[in-house]
Amino acid sequence: MIYLDNAATSFPKPPGVAEAVGEYLSEYSVSSGRSSYPAAVKVSKKIFTCRQNIAKLFNISDASRIVFTLNATAALNTALKGILRKNSTALISSLEHNAIARPLNYLKETKNINILTLKSDKDGYIIKEDLENKLAKKIDIVAVNHASNVFGLVQDIKTIGAICKKHGTLFMVDAAQTAGEIKIDVKDMNIDILAASGHKGLLSPAGVGFLYLRKGIEFPPLVHGGTGSNSEQSIQPKFWPDKMESGTLNIGSIIGLEKSTEFILKRTVKEISEKKSAITSYLIQNLNQIKGLSLYGPDNPGPDKPRSDKKRTSPVSFNIAGKTPSEIAEILNKKNICVRTGLHCAPMAHKFLKTYPEGTVRASAGYFTKEKEIDRLIATLKSI
Ligand SMILES: Cc1ncc(COP(=O)(O)O)c(C=O)c1O
Protein backbone atom coordinates (compact mmCIF):
# COMPACT_ATOMS: atom_id res chain seq x y z
CA MET A 1 0.00 0.00 0.00
CA ILE A 2 1.22 3.49 -0.86
CA TYR A 3 -0.28 5.62 1.83
CA LEU A 4 -0.65 9.32 1.02
CA ASP A 5 -3.58 10.19 3.28
CA ASN A 6 -1.68 11.34 6.36
CA ALA A 7 -3.84 14.46 6.68
CA ALA A 8 -6.76 12.12 7.53
CA THR A 9 -4.70 9.99 9.88
CA SER A 10 -1.02 9.13 10.01
CA PHE A 11 0.30 5.76 8.92
CA PRO A 12 2.59 4.06 9.73
CA LYS A 13 3.06 4.93 13.39
CA PRO A 14 6.56 5.27 14.86
CA PRO A 15 8.41 2.14 15.99
CA GLY A 16 7.31 1.07 19.45
CA VAL A 17 3.77 2.52 19.33
CA ALA A 18 1.96 -0.69 18.31
CA GLU A 19 4.11 -2.65 20.76
CA ALA A 20 3.26 -0.28 23.64
CA VAL A 21 -0.47 -0.51 22.90
CA GLY A 22 -0.27 -4.30 22.45
CA GLU A 23 1.62 -4.69 25.72
CA TYR A 24 -1.01 -2.63 27.53
CA LEU A 25 -3.83 -4.74 26.06
CA SER A 26 -2.22 -8.06 26.79
CA GLU A 27 -0.33 -7.40 30.04
CA TYR A 28 -1.98 -4.70 32.16
CA SER A 29 -5.21 -3.52 30.54
CA VAL A 30 -6.77 -1.99 33.66
CA SER A 31 -8.39 1.35 34.48
CA SER A 32 -6.61 4.50 35.63
CA GLY A 33 -7.09 6.92 38.50
CA ARG A 34 -9.54 4.64 40.31
CA SER A 35 -7.42 2.08 42.20
CA SER A 36 -4.04 1.67 43.87
CA TYR A 37 -2.91 -1.81 42.78
CA PRO A 38 0.36 -1.86 40.77
CA ALA A 39 -1.15 -2.24 37.29
CA ALA A 40 -3.50 0.71 37.91
CA VAL A 41 -0.60 2.83 39.15
CA LYS A 42 1.40 1.92 36.04
CA VAL A 43 -1.47 3.04 33.78
CA SER A 44 -1.88 6.31 35.71
CA LYS A 45 1.87 6.98 35.36
CA LYS A 46 1.71 6.44 31.58
CA ILE A 47 -1.19 8.90 31.30
CA PHE A 48 0.73 11.36 33.48
CA THR A 49 3.82 11.04 31.24
CA CYS A 50 1.71 11.50 28.12
CA ARG A 51 0.33 14.77 29.53
CA GLN A 52 3.89 15.87 30.38
CA ASN A 53 5.06 15.06 26.85
CA ILE A 54 2.27 17.19 25.37
CA ALA A 55 3.12 20.00 27.79
CA LYS A 56 6.77 19.89 26.61
CA LEU A 57 5.83 19.84 22.95
CA PHE A 58 3.65 22.95 23.19
CA ASN A 59 5.43 24.80 26.02
CA ILE A 60 2.50 24.43 28.41
CA SER A 61 3.65 25.09 31.99
CA ASP A 62 0.77 23.36 33.80
CA ALA A 63 0.06 19.91 32.30
CA SER A 64 -3.17 19.60 34.30
CA ARG A 65 -4.66 22.15 31.89
CA ILE A 66 -4.38 19.51 29.13
CA VAL A 67 -7.59 17.52 28.82
CA PHE A 68 -7.76 14.25 26.89
CA THR A 69 -10.64 14.05 24.43
CA LEU A 70 -11.75 11.59 21.78
CA ASN A 71 -10.26 13.66 18.94
CA ALA A 72 -9.78 17.27 17.80
CA THR A 73 -13.49 17.58 17.02
CA ALA A 74 -14.46 16.77 20.63
CA ALA A 75 -11.84 19.23 21.89
CA LEU A 76 -13.15 22.05 19.65
CA ASN A 77 -16.78 21.28 20.58
CA THR A 78 -15.94 21.36 24.29
CA ALA A 79 -14.36 24.79 23.99
CA LEU A 80 -16.93 26.38 21.66
CA LYS A 81 -19.96 25.04 23.54
CA GLY A 82 -18.38 25.93 26.87
CA ILE A 83 -17.45 29.48 25.98
CA LEU A 84 -20.18 30.75 23.69
CA ARG A 85 -23.42 31.92 25.31
CA LYS A 86 -26.66 33.37 23.95
CA ASN A 87 -25.84 36.11 21.40
CA SER A 88 -22.04 35.61 21.69
CA THR A 89 -19.86 36.33 18.66
CA ALA A 90 -17.22 34.03 17.16
CA LEU A 91 -14.68 35.17 14.57
CA ILE A 92 -13.24 32.53 12.23
CA SER A 93 -11.15 32.29 9.06
CA SER A 94 -12.55 31.49 5.64
CA LEU A 95 -10.86 28.06 5.61
CA GLU A 96 -12.33 26.34 8.66
CA HIS A 97 -12.94 22.60 8.91
CA ASN A 98 -16.45 21.39 9.78
CA ALA A 99 -15.09 20.61 13.27
CA ILE A 100 -15.36 24.37 13.87
CA ALA A 101 -18.01 25.37 11.32
CA ARG A 102 -20.67 22.83 12.35
CA PRO A 103 -20.65 23.38 16.14
CA LEU A 104 -20.75 27.12 15.45
CA ASN A 105 -23.69 26.77 13.07
CA TYR A 106 -25.43 24.61 15.67
CA LEU A 107 -24.85 27.33 18.28
CA LYS A 108 -26.16 29.89 15.81
CA GLU A 109 -29.41 27.92 15.55
CA THR A 110 -29.75 27.15 19.25
CA LYS A 111 -28.20 30.17 20.97
CA ASN A 112 -28.39 32.80 18.28
CA ILE A 113 -24.62 33.33 18.26
CA ASN A 114 -23.08 35.48 15.53
CA ILE A 115 -20.42 34.02 13.27
CA LEU A 116 -18.13 36.53 11.58
CA THR A 117 -15.65 35.46 8.93
CA LEU A 118 -12.30 37.17 8.47
CA LYS A 119 -11.32 38.43 5.05
CA SER A 120 -8.41 36.63 3.49
CA ASP A 121 -5.99 37.61 0.75
CA LYS A 122 -5.92 35.86 -2.62
CA ASP A 123 -3.84 33.00 -1.17
CA GLY A 124 -6.05 32.44 1.89
CA TYR A 125 -4.06 34.29 4.55
CA ILE A 126 -6.08 36.21 7.12
CA ILE A 127 -5.86 39.96 6.48
CA LYS A 128 -4.46 41.41 9.72
CA GLU A 129 -6.10 44.82 9.27
CA ASP A 130 -9.48 43.12 8.98
CA LEU A 131 -8.77 41.22 12.21
CA GLU A 132 -7.86 44.51 13.95
CA ASN A 133 -11.04 46.17 12.62
CA LYS A 134 -13.32 43.31 13.62
CA LEU A 135 -11.78 43.09 17.11
CA ALA A 136 -12.71 46.73 17.71
CA LYS A 137 -16.21 45.34 18.49
CA LYS A 138 -16.85 42.71 21.16
CA ILE A 139 -15.79 39.27 19.98
CA ASP A 140 -16.00 36.31 22.39
CA ILE A 141 -13.56 34.02 20.61
CA VAL A 142 -11.27 34.02 17.59
CA ALA A 143 -11.11 30.41 16.34
CA VAL A 144 -8.60 29.71 13.60
CA ASN A 145 -7.42 26.67 11.73
CA HIS A 146 -3.59 26.71 11.97
CA ALA A 147 -3.20 24.96 8.62
CA SER A 148 -5.75 24.15 5.96
CA ASN A 149 -6.39 20.43 5.72
CA VAL A 150 -7.29 20.99 2.06
CA PHE A 151 -4.26 22.79 0.65
CA GLY A 152 -1.77 23.10 3.49
CA LEU A 153 -1.77 26.89 3.91
CA VAL A 154 -0.32 27.81 7.33
CA GLN A 155 -1.70 30.91 9.03
CA ASP A 156 0.61 33.29 10.87
CA ILE A 157 -0.79 32.42 14.28
CA LYS A 158 1.91 34.27 16.20
CA THR A 159 0.79 37.61 14.73
CA ILE A 160 -2.89 36.69 15.09
CA GLY A 161 -2.25 35.72 18.74
CA ALA A 162 -0.50 39.03 19.42
CA ILE A 163 -3.41 40.99 17.93
CA CYS A 164 -5.94 38.99 19.98
CA LYS A 165 -3.91 39.58 23.13
CA LYS A 166 -3.82 43.33 22.46
CA HIS A 167 -7.61 43.35 22.25
CA GLY A 168 -8.08 40.97 25.20
CA THR A 169 -9.92 38.42 23.02
CA LEU A 170 -9.72 34.67 23.54
CA PHE A 171 -7.69 32.96 20.83
CA MET A 172 -8.28 29.32 19.94
CA VAL A 173 -6.14 27.39 17.47
CA ASP A 174 -7.26 24.23 15.68
CA ALA A 175 -3.89 22.50 15.34
CA ALA A 176 -5.26 19.25 13.90
CA GLN A 177 -2.99 19.60 10.85
CA THR A 178 0.07 21.06 12.52
CA ALA A 179 0.55 19.51 15.98
CA GLY A 180 3.75 17.48 15.79
CA GLU A 181 4.69 18.95 12.42
CA ILE A 182 5.10 22.69 13.04
CA LYS A 183 6.47 24.19 16.23
CA ILE A 184 3.68 25.56 18.41
CA ASP A 185 4.50 27.49 21.56
CA VAL A 186 1.34 28.52 23.38
CA LYS A 187 3.12 31.24 25.35
CA ASP A 188 5.12 32.77 22.52
CA MET A 189 2.07 32.63 20.21
CA ASN A 190 -0.42 33.86 22.85
CA ILE A 191 -2.66 30.84 22.30
CA ASP A 192 -5.36 30.62 24.98
CA ILE A 193 -6.94 27.42 23.72
CA LEU A 194 -5.31 24.70 21.64
CA ALA A 195 -7.09 21.68 20.15
CA ALA A 196 -5.45 18.78 18.32
CA SER A 197 -5.86 15.14 17.36
CA GLY A 198 -3.43 12.48 18.52
CA HIS A 199 -3.76 10.33 15.39
CA LYS A 200 -2.51 12.81 12.78
CA GLY A 201 0.87 14.55 13.21
CA LEU A 202 1.20 13.36 16.80
CA LEU A 203 1.37 9.84 15.35
CA SER A 204 -0.79 7.99 17.91
CA PRO A 205 -3.62 5.53 17.25
CA ALA A 206 -7.06 7.08 16.69
CA GLY A 207 -9.41 7.75 19.60
CA VAL A 208 -7.46 10.42 21.44
CA GLY A 209 -7.02 14.16 21.09
CA PHE A 210 -6.51 16.97 23.54
CA LEU A 211 -7.72 20.38 24.56
CA TYR A 212 -5.44 22.85 26.32
CA LEU A 213 -7.05 25.74 28.18
CA ARG A 214 -4.92 28.52 29.60
CA LYS A 215 -5.14 29.01 33.35
CA GLY A 216 -8.04 31.32 34.14
CA ILE A 217 -10.33 29.95 31.42
CA GLU A 218 -13.13 28.11 33.18
CA PHE A 219 -16.41 26.75 31.86
CA PRO A 220 -18.47 23.62 32.51
CA PRO A 221 -17.37 20.36 30.87
CA LEU A 222 -19.36 18.96 27.97
CA VAL A 223 -19.76 15.68 29.85
CA HIS A 224 -20.22 15.23 33.62
CA GLY A 225 -19.66 12.00 35.54
CA GLY A 226 -17.25 9.78 37.40
CA THR A 227 -13.64 10.87 37.70
CA GLY A 228 -12.37 8.51 40.42
CA SER A 229 -11.93 11.59 42.63
CA ASN A 230 -14.20 13.30 45.23
CA SER A 231 -16.72 10.51 44.66
CA GLU A 232 -18.66 11.41 47.81
CA GLN A 233 -19.70 14.69 46.15
CA SER A 234 -22.72 14.85 43.87
CA ILE A 235 -21.13 17.51 41.69
CA GLN A 236 -18.13 17.50 39.35
CA PRO A 237 -14.74 18.20 41.01
CA LYS A 238 -13.47 21.74 40.42
CA PHE A 239 -9.81 20.77 39.94
CA TRP A 240 -8.06 19.97 36.66
CA PRO A 241 -7.96 17.78 34.66
CA ASP A 242 -10.72 15.86 36.54
CA LYS A 243 -13.16 18.73 36.08
CA MET A 244 -13.06 18.18 32.32
CA GLU A 245 -12.41 14.40 32.05
CA SER A 246 -15.39 12.21 33.01
CA GLY A 247 -15.59 8.46 32.49
CA THR A 248 -12.87 6.02 31.52
CA LEU A 249 -10.35 7.44 29.07
CA ASN A 250 -9.19 5.72 25.89
CA ILE A 251 -6.20 4.36 27.76
CA GLY A 252 -4.80 2.23 24.92
CA SER A 253 -4.62 5.21 22.56
CA ILE A 254 -3.19 7.46 25.29
CA ILE A 255 -0.45 4.88 25.86
CA GLY A 256 0.18 4.97 22.09
CA LEU A 257 0.28 8.77 22.26
CA GLU A 258 2.74 8.61 25.15
CA LYS A 259 5.06 6.53 22.97
CA SER A 260 4.56 8.60 19.81
CA THR A 261 5.12 11.92 21.61
CA GLU A 262 8.29 10.44 23.14
CA PHE A 263 9.40 9.68 19.55
CA ILE A 264 8.57 13.25 18.43
CA LEU A 265 10.40 14.80 21.40
CA LYS A 266 13.48 12.70 20.58
CA ARG A 267 13.45 13.41 16.85
CA THR A 268 12.34 17.02 17.50
CA VAL A 269 9.51 18.85 15.75
CA LYS A 270 12.16 20.73 13.75
CA GLU A 271 13.54 17.55 12.20
CA ILE A 272 10.05 16.19 11.52
CA SER A 273 9.05 19.51 9.99
CA GLU A 274 12.11 19.57 7.71
CA LYS A 275 11.59 15.99 6.58
CA LYS A 276 7.89 16.47 5.84
CA SER A 277 8.64 19.73 4.11
CA ALA A 278 11.28 18.08 1.89
CA ILE A 279 9.02 15.21 0.85
CA THR A 280 6.11 17.61 0.26
CA SER A 281 8.32 19.82 -1.94
CA TYR A 282 9.33 16.72 -3.88
CA LEU A 283 5.65 15.89 -4.37
CA ILE A 284 4.79 19.43 -5.47
CA GLN A 285 7.74 19.69 -7.87
CA ASN A 286 6.73 16.44 -9.55
CA LEU A 287 3.03 17.30 -9.68
CA ASN A 288 4.01 20.60 -11.29
CA GLN A 289 5.51 18.69 -14.23
CA ILE A 290 2.22 17.00 -15.15
CA LYS A 291 0.37 18.60 -18.04
CA GLY A 292 -3.28 19.39 -17.34
CA LEU A 293 -2.86 19.11 -13.57
CA SER A 294 -3.85 22.14 -11.45
CA LEU A 295 -2.34 22.51 -8.01
CA TYR A 296 -3.91 24.62 -5.29
CA GLY A 297 -2.04 26.51 -2.63
CA PRO A 298 0.15 29.52 -1.96
CA ASP A 299 3.46 28.06 -3.08
CA ASN A 300 2.22 26.12 -6.05
CA PRO A 301 2.27 28.79 -8.73
CA GLY A 302 3.09 26.36 -11.56
CA PRO A 303 6.34 25.31 -13.25
CA ASP A 304 7.10 28.66 -14.90
CA LYS A 305 6.57 30.92 -11.91
CA PRO A 306 8.86 31.38 -8.89
CA ARG A 307 7.95 29.50 -5.73
CA SER A 308 6.73 31.67 -2.91
CA ASP A 309 8.53 31.42 0.44
CA LYS A 310 5.24 31.33 2.29
CA LYS A 311 4.87 28.43 4.68
CA ARG A 312 2.83 25.39 3.90
CA THR A 313 2.31 22.01 5.41
CA SER A 314 1.73 18.57 3.92
CA PRO A 315 -1.81 18.40 2.46
CA VAL A 316 -1.52 19.00 -1.30
CA SER A 317 -4.68 19.37 -3.38
CA PHE A 318 -4.95 19.07 -7.15
CA ASN A 319 -7.29 18.32 -10.02
CA ILE A 320 -6.74 16.94 -13.49
CA ALA A 321 -8.60 18.48 -16.43
CA GLY A 322 -11.30 16.22 -17.84
CA LYS A 323 -11.49 13.90 -14.81
CA THR A 324 -13.45 14.22 -11.60
CA PRO A 325 -11.60 13.69 -8.29
CA SER A 326 -13.47 10.42 -7.73
CA GLU A 327 -12.54 9.13 -11.19
CA ILE A 328 -8.89 9.78 -10.33
CA ALA A 329 -9.30 8.06 -6.97
CA GLU A 330 -10.79 4.99 -8.65
CA ILE A 331 -7.69 4.62 -10.82
CA LEU A 332 -5.36 5.17 -7.85
CA ASN A 333 -7.34 2.73 -5.68
CA LYS A 334 -6.73 -0.03 -8.23
CA LYS A 335 -2.99 0.52 -7.74
CA ASN A 336 -3.41 0.63 -3.95
CA ILE A 337 -2.32 4.29 -3.85
CA CYS A 338 -4.31 5.89 -1.02
CA VAL A 339 -5.36 9.53 -1.38
CA ARG A 340 -8.49 11.36 -0.37
CA THR A 341 -10.97 13.03 -2.70
CA GLY A 342 -13.93 15.36 -2.36
CA LEU A 343 -14.39 18.16 0.15
CA HIS A 344 -12.27 16.78 3.02
CA CYS A 345 -14.87 18.00 5.58
CA ALA A 346 -13.94 21.57 4.71
CA PRO A 347 -16.47 23.03 2.24
CA MET A 348 -15.45 26.56 3.28
CA ALA A 349 -11.93 26.01 1.95
CA HIS A 350 -13.30 24.64 -1.33
CA LYS A 351 -15.59 27.63 -1.74
CA PHE A 352 -12.48 29.77 -1.30
CA LEU A 353 -10.53 27.72 -3.88
CA LYS A 354 -13.57 27.60 -6.20
CA THR A 355 -13.39 23.81 -6.19
CA TYR A 356 -16.81 23.44 -4.55
CA PRO A 357 -18.78 21.13 -4.77
CA GLU A 358 -16.63 18.50 -6.54
CA GLY A 359 -13.56 19.16 -4.40
CA THR A 360 -10.06 17.99 -5.15
CA VAL A 361 -7.72 15.04 -4.93
CA ARG A 362 -5.59 15.40 -1.81
CA ALA A 363 -2.25 13.68 -1.37
CA SER A 364 -0.64 14.13 2.02
CA ALA A 365 2.79 12.71 2.73
CA GLY A 366 3.88 11.74 6.22
CA TYR A 367 7.11 11.56 8.15
CA PHE A 368 7.75 8.03 6.85
CA THR A 369 6.84 8.65 3.18
CA LYS A 370 9.61 7.83 0.71
CA GLU A 371 10.40 9.46 -2.63
CA LYS A 372 9.82 6.18 -4.45
CA GLU A 373 6.24 6.14 -3.15
CA ILE A 374 5.71 9.63 -4.55
CA ASP A 375 7.24 8.40 -7.83
CA ARG A 376 4.56 5.68 -8.05
CA LEU A 377 1.81 8.26 -7.58
CA ILE A 378 3.35 10.55 -10.18
CA ALA A 379 3.76 7.75 -12.74
CA THR A 380 0.07 6.81 -12.36
CA LEU A 381 -1.07 10.42 -12.59
CA LYS A 382 1.04 10.87 -15.75
CA SER A 383 -0.67 7.87 -17.29
CA ILE A 384 -4.05 9.48 -16.52
C1 LIG B 1 -8.17 21.23 10.34
C2 LIG B 1 -8.88 20.10 11.01
N3 LIG B 1 -9.58 20.33 12.12
C4 LIG B 1 -10.21 19.35 12.78
C5 LIG B 1 -10.17 18.06 12.31
C6 LIG B 1 -10.88 17.00 13.08
O7 LIG B 1 -9.96 16.07 13.59
P8 LIG B 1 -10.47 14.73 14.28
O9 LIG B 1 -10.93 13.85 13.16
O10 LIG B 1 -9.30 14.19 14.99
O11 LIG B 1 -11.57 15.10 15.17
C12 LIG B 1 -9.47 17.77 11.15
C13 LIG B 1 -9.47 16.39 10.60
O14 LIG B 1 -9.27 16.17 9.43
C15 LIG B 1 -8.79 18.81 10.49
O16 LIG B 1 -8.08 18.58 9.39
Residues 6+ apart with CB under 8 A from 214: 65, 186, 191, 192, 193
- Distance separating alpha carbons of residues 202 and 259, to the nearest angstrom: 10
Best mutation site among 92, 97, 314 for ligand 1 pocket (most ligand atoms within 8 Å of CB): 97
126-183 confidence digits (pLDDT tens) = 999 999 999 999 999 999 999 999 999 999 999 999 999 999 999 999 999 999 999 9
Which ranges constitute the DSSP H helices of 268-357?
269-288, 325-334, 347-353
258-283 confidence digits (pLDDT tens) = 999 999 999 999 999 999 999 999 99
CA 301 to centroid of ligand 1, rounded, Å: 27
The residue contributing the CA closest to ligand 1 atom 2 is 176
Q: Give domain limits for the chain.
A: 2-9+269-383, 17-267
CA 209 to centroid of ligand 1, rounded, Å: 10
37-59 confidence digits (pLDDT tens) = 989 999 999 999 999 999 999 99
81 lines ligand 1 (CB under 6 A): no
The whole-number pLDDT of residue 117 equals: 98
When pLDDT is cut at 50, 70 and 90, the band that residue 312 belongs to is: confident
Which of 134-138's residues contact partners 24+ apart within 8 Å by CB, and which partners? 134/91, 135/91, 135/163, 135/164, 135/167, 135/169, 136/167, 137/89, 138/89
| Dihedral pair phi/psi, residue 186, rounded to 5° | -65, -30
CA 340 to centroid of ligand 1, rounded, Å: 14
Q: Is it the case that residue 216 has pLDDT exceeding 80?
A: yes
Nearest atom (ligand 1) to Cα of 75: 11
When pLDDT is cut at 50, 70 and 90, the band that residue 310 belongs to is: low
CA 26 to centroid of ligand 1, rounded, Å: 30
Q: Please provide the average confidence, as pLDDT, over all residues in the chain.
A: 93
Q: Which of 11, 363, 371 is nearest to 201 (CA)?
A: 11
* Residue 267: how many other CB atoms lie within 10 Å: 14
- Domain 17-267: give its CATH code: 3.40.640.10
Nearest atom (ligand 1) to Cα of 199: 10
When pLDDT is cut at 50, 70 and 90, the band that residue 307 belongs to is: very low
73 lines ligand 1 (CB under 6 A): yes
Fold for domain 2-9+269-383?
Aspartate Aminotransferase, domain 1 (3.90.1150)
Q: Which of 214, 210, 81, 78 is nearest to 140 (CA)?
A: 81
When pLDDT is cut at 50, 70 and 90, the band that residue 299 belongs to is: low
312 lines ligand 1 (CB under 6 A): no
The residue contributing the CA closest to ligand 1 atom 15 is 176
313-340 confidence digits (pLDDT tens) = 899 999 999 999 999 999 999 999 999 9
**Higher-scoring residue by pLDDT: 212, 356:** 212
97 lines ligand 1 (CB under 6 A): yes
The whole-number pLDDT of residue 308 equals: 44
5 lines ligand 1 (CB under 6 A): no
365-379 confidence digits (pLDDT tens) = 999 999 999 999 999
71 lines ligand 1 (CB under 6 A): yes
